[in-house]
Amino acid sequence: MNKKNIPLNERIIFALDFSSTDEAKQWVRRVESHIKFYKVGLQLFLAGWFPIIEWIIDRGHKVMVDLKFFDVPETVKLAVEQLQNRGITFATIHGNDPIVRAAVKEKGDLKLLAVTVLTSFGENDMKEMGLQCSVEDLVFHRAKQALDIGCDGVVSSGLEAARLRERLGEKFLIITPGIRPGKNIEVKEDDQVRIMTAEKAIKNGADHVVIGRPIKTSKDPVALIKSIQKNISLL
């Protein structure tokens, strides 16, 4: 387990993947006694724009804006500027070196996370794209490049986290999506390929785990959150 002093109620970043701000707010109110960190992705951002982010922050919580900026460097630079001075903790980018470099120059008080390889992406996808390396090697290469350029951390599955920690050290953030709590939790229409439990991901070196569907589809979301946090606390 990594040695950063991160509060237990910030280890889980709850993915607010909802189509309306009202539904997102209902969920924040439902779980905020146990979770203080939330992800706003494309769906909710398009539904609620900056006001939903401001609402979450005003309640004393942290926000990860997961828009995975990928465009020509100048456009990414201007997009990152729009996130400055809003109290946002994390923002994500997904691109080659010039894109990452442009984002880093304008990150200001943001912690910038480079998305390495989406967790819905597997070895068969690599072959179909004509790539000769493994997913793990590609994640490592992209992570090293992003950190060398000046990113504060990366987004990767828990499967790659151990190698990243071993080879690249402790002085950067690893945020891990594709979290599945265990065999007793069924997530329908699951498109994630590289998955892992929260406690295993953190044991491998992740700082935060992003969890959405398992919590939303649970019969008792708060009980599930408490169970995951208990397992993390025992590491």
pLDDT 10s digits, 81-118: 999 999 999 999 988 899 999 999 999 899 999 998 66
| CB-CB contact of 27 with 16 (8 Å) | yes
The catalytic residues are 68
Write the DSSP symbol of residue 66: E
Compute CA 155 distance to the chain's CA centroid, rounded to the nearest angstrom: 6
User: Does residue 141 come out as left (phi exceeding 0), alpha (psi in the -120 to 50 range) or beta?
Assistant: alpha
Residue 195, both tokens: 């998955």
The sign of the dihedral angle between the CA atoms of 18, 23, 25, 31 is negative
| CB-CB contact of 10 with 62 (8 Å) | yes
CATH class of 8-233: alpha beta
Backbone angles phi, psi at 112, to 5 degrees: -95, 130
The answer on pLDDT for 226 being more than 70 is yes
pTM for this one? 0.87
Give 146's contacts (C-beta < 8 A, 6+ positions apart): 100, 114, 116, 154
Distance of alpha carbon 83 from alpha carbon 90, whole angstroms: 10
Query: How confident is the model over 154-200, as pLDDT tens digits?
Result: 998 888 888 999 999 999 999 998 787 764 444 444 445 556 888 88
Number of neighbours of residue 199 by Cβ within 10 angstroms: 24
Q: For all residues of the chain together, what is the average pLDDT?
A: 87
